[in-house]
Amino acid sequence: MQLLIATHNEHKKEEIRQILGKNFVVKSLTDYGIFDEIAENGKTFKENAEIKAKYCFEKTGIPSLGDDSGLAVEALNGKPGIFSARYADDHDFVKNIEKVLDEMKSIENRKAYFITVLCYYDESGAKFFEGKVHGNLLTENKGFKGFGYDPIFVPDGYEKTFAEMPSEEKNQISHRKKAIEKFLEFLEK
């Protein structure tokens, strides 16, 4: 099955490709030469995922998967949330992490979760799949693998950050994995 992932983020594309497995041909916007800026102006992860997936399907006619993911920090009332990728600066996760760590400096409650909402869009419309993984934030970066907020997030039941885990390990427990599992269950029906 061919899927167009509504992203230019090669890390995200590769992570989704690894989780989906070899029965899928996973392509990104870059692979199709689509460089239009898709306005993520929704107010929720679900709205943003649908905006991206619908745009890609309408542009290409290929079943598309929109992914909107982010970090929600309990002590920050769910921030950075839908603004995770541009919390301090557009897609500059060094600055984004610095901002979160600065805001969390004197806060003991380090609970947070990663969330992914996938929207699968084809000729029959939109279907949604959500995954979450709960954990805690560190006070400093640890690890060099992964992307985004991975260096400061330790999932519940683990003692290392997502950025310290090999991708195979992260991809077995991640929020994106949980959402994709629900998507695969839907496809099998």
Of the candidates 20, 7, 10, 78, the one whose C-alpha atom is nearest the C-alpha of residue 44 is 78
**According to the model, what pLDDT value does residue 147 have?**
82
pLDDT category of residue 134 using cuts at 50, 70 and 90: very high
From 31, 36, 68, 90, active-site residue: 68
Angle formed by the axes of helices 10-20 and 175-188, nearest 10°: 50
- Of 112, 53, 37, 58, the residue nearest 80 (C-alpha): 112
22-39 tens-digit pLDDT = 889 999 999 999 998 888
90 pLDDT more than 80: no
- pLDDT at residue 12, as a whole number: 84
User: For the ranges 24-38, 45-59, 65-79, 110-124, which has the lowest average pLDDT?
Assistant: 24-38
Residue 45 has pLDDT above 90, yes or no: yes
Domains and CATH numbers, the chain: 2-188 (3.90.950.10)
Across the chain, mean pLDDT equals 93
176-184 mean pLDDT: 95
Region 89-95 average pLDDT: 85
Return the percentage of the chain with pLDDT > 90, whole number: 78
57: left (phi over 0), alpha (psi -120 to 50) or beta: alpha
Catalytic residue flag (residue 89) = no
Residue whose structure tokens are 């330790």 = 154
